[in-house]
Chains A and B, each alone.
Chain A
Amino acid sequence: MTAHTQTMAGVAVRPQAGTLTGTVPKMDARGVKVYYGAKQALKGIDLEIPERQVTALIGPSGCGKSTFLRCLNRMNDTIDIARIEGLITLDGQDIYDREIDPVQLRARVGMVFQKPNPFPKSIYDNISYGPRIHGLASRREEMDEIVTKSLQRAGLWNEVKDRLKEPGTGLSGGQQQRLCIARAIAVSPEVILMDEPCSALDPIATAHIEELIDELRENYTIVIVTHNMQQAARVSQRTAFFHLGEMVEVGDTEEIFTTPRDERTQGYITGRYG
Chain B
Amino acid sequence: MTDIISTPRAAPYQSDDFAARLRKRYAAERRFKLYGIAAIGIALSMLAVLLASIVSQGYTAFAQHDLALEIYFDPAEIDPQGTRDEATLSGANYALIARQSLQAIFPEVESRTDRRRLNAIVSNGAGFELRQMVMDNPGLIGTRQTVRLPLASDYDQLLKGNIDRDVPEANRKVNDQQIQWIDKLVSTGNIVNGWNWRLFMNGDSRDPELAGLKAGIVGSLLTLAVTLGLAIPIGISAAVYLEEFAPKNKLTDLIEVNINNLAAVPSIVFGLLGLAVFLNAFNMPRSAPVVGGIVLALMTLPTIIIASRAALKAVPPSIREAALGVGASPLQVVTHHVLPLAMPGIMTGIIIGMAHALGETAPLLMIGMIAFIVDTPSGFGDAATVLPVQIFMWADSPERGFVERTSAAIMVLLAFLIAMNAIAVVLRKRFERRW
Contacts and interface: CB of A to CB of B under 8 A. Distances in A.
B321 A113 contact: yes
Contact of B327 (A112, A120, A133): A133
A115 B318 contact: yes
A75 B322 contact: no
Interface in B307-338: 316, 318-329, 332, 336-337
A115 B247 CA distance: 27
Given A167-B434, A169-B435, A183 B321 contact: no
A40 to B, nearest CB: 21
A110 interface: yes
A113 B341 CA distance: 20
Interface string A240-268: 00000000000000000000000000000
Interface in A41-89: 73, 75, 78, 80
Contacts of A78: 320-321, 324
B9 interface: no
A104 interface: yes
Contacts of A14: none
Given A80-B247, A117-B318, A119-B322, A130 B434 contact: no
A129 B325 contact: no
Contact of A107 (B316, B326, B341, B433): B326
A134 B327 contact: yes
Nearest to A127: B326
A2 B163 CA distance: 88
Given A80-B248, A169-B435, A75 B327 contact: no
Interface in B115-169: none
Contact of A133 (B247, B320, B332, B433): B332
B328 A117 contact: no
Nearest to B322: A117
B435 A110 contact: no
A110 B341 contact: no
B interface residue count range (under 10 / 10 to 19 / 20 to 34 / 35 or more): 20 to 34
A103 B325 contact: no
A158 B332 CA distance: 31
A187 interface: yes
Given A169-B434, A169-B435, A113 B327 contact: no
A33 interface: no
A120 B339 CA distance: 13
A187 B324 contact: no
Contacts of B326: 106-107, 110, 129-130, 133, 183-184, 186-187
A111 interface: yes
Contacts of B435: 120, 169
A103 B328 contact: yes
A187 B320 CA distance: 17
B319 A117 contact: yes
A133 B328 contact: yes
Given A119-B337, A120-B434, A103 B321 contact: no
Contacts of B341: 120
A76 B52 CA distance: 60
B322 A180 contact: yes
A113 B318 contact: yes
A80 B321 CA distance: 15
B322 A107 contact: no
A149 to B, nearest CB: 16
Contacts of A184: 325-326
Contacts of A118: 322
Contacts of A117: 316, 318-319, 321-322
A262 B337 CA distance: 46
Nearest to B333: A78
B328 A113 contact: no
Contacts of B328: 103, 129-130, 133
Interface in A115-137: 115, 117-120, 129-130, 133-134
Contacts of A119: 319, 322-323, 337
Interface in B219-233: none
Contacts of B247: 80
Nearest to A81: B248
A207 B321 CA distance: 25
Contacts of B319: 117, 119-120
A73 B337 contact: no
Given A80-B248, A119-B319, A133-B332, A111 B434 contact: no
Interface in B370-421: none
Contacts of A187: 326-327
Contacts of A103: 327-329
A1 B247 CA distance: 39
14 contacts: A103-B328, A107-B326, A107-B327, A111-B325, A115-B318, A117-B316, A117-B322, A129-B323, A129-B326, A130-B328, A133-B329, A133-B332, A167-B433, A184-B326
Given A78-B321, A107-B327, 6 more contacts: A73-B325, A80-B247, A106-B324, A115-B318, A133-B336, A169-B435
Which 6 residue pairs spanning A and B have beta carbons closest together? A107-B327, A130-B326, A117-B318, A111-B325, A120-B433, A106-B327
Interface of B: 247-248, 316, 318-329, 332, 336-337, 341, 433-435
